[in-house]
A and B are shown apart, each in its own frame.
Chain A
Amino acid sequence: ETGVTQTPRHLVMGMTNKKSLKCEQHLGHNAMYWYKQSAKKPLELMFVYSLEERVENNSVPSRFSPECPNSSHLFLHLHTLQPEDSALYLCASSLGQGYSNTEAFFGQGTRLTVV
C-alpha cells in the first residue's frame, strides 16, 4: 500500500454515461497527477495539480474534467467518452519539485472500459 487510494478499481461505462474517478492521499503531498496508461502510450500525463491549482493540461479532450477540491483529493469526471478512452487511469502524488524527497507514489489505478 503506497498511501494513494483510487476508486473504483474497475469501471464499465457507456458512451453516454457520466462517471467520476476518485483519488485520495494522506501523505501530505502537494502535487497530484492523472496519467492514462494504454498499450499505445504508456504513462501519458493528463493533468497536474500543484497546491490545488492546475499547472498542466496535456492537451486532454474536454470530455475529461479534473477537479482538485483540496490537497488530499483528486477527481476525474468523465462524460461522453469514446471506446478509445478505455485504459488504465493512474493517479499519483508527490511533494513536487523543490523538496528533498520528490518520489511520486501511484495508486493502483482504475481500469476503465467504454462500451
Chain B
Amino acid sequence: GENVEQHPSTLSVQEGDSAVIKCTYSDSASNYFPWYKQELGKRPQLIIDIRSNVGEKKDQRIAVTLNKTAKHFSLHITETQPEDSAVYFCAAMEYSTLTFGKGTMLLVSP
C-alpha cells in the first residue's frame, strides 16, 4: 500500500513569513495529491490539490508543487496570518485509497 511521509511535524513562524511543508509518497500509481487543513475541534477540509499531470498549482497565498520523478510534493503558504494556525495534512490517492501523512502543526505568531 501507499506510504506518505510528512515533515516537519511542527512548524512555528512569525506572521508574514512563509511556511513550507514537504511530503513524499511511495507508490507511483498515486495520481492525486490533496492538502487538508484541520483547525482545533473541527473536521479536515481541503485547501488545495494537485494531479500528477501538473507540476504546480497556486491559489492566492497557497501553492503546491509536485515532483513525480522524486515522488515528493510540497505546500507553500506565503504571508502567513494567525488564522493559518492549524494542522495540515498531505495525502496521496492510489485508485480509491486516500492515505494521509502524519500532519504538521503550523503555529503563526502575531
Contact = CB atoms under 8 A, between A and B. Distances in A.
B26 interface: no
Interface in A47-101: 48, 50, 55-56, 58, 90, 92, 94, 96-97
A106 B43 contact: yes
Contacts of B95: 50, 55, 96-97
B43 A90 contact: yes
Contact of B97 (A42, A56, A103): A56
Interface stretch (B58-66, B68-76, B86-94): B86-94
B96 A97 contact: yes
B97 A48 contact: yes
A72 B102 CA distance: 28
Interface residues on A, range: 20 to 34
A43 B32 contact: no
Contacts of B25: none
A48 B97 CA distance: 6
Contacts of B45: 2, 106
B31 interface: yes
Given A90-B43, A108-B43, A45 B34 contact: no
Interface of B: 1, 31-32, 34, 42-46, 49, 87, 89, 91, 93-100, 102-103
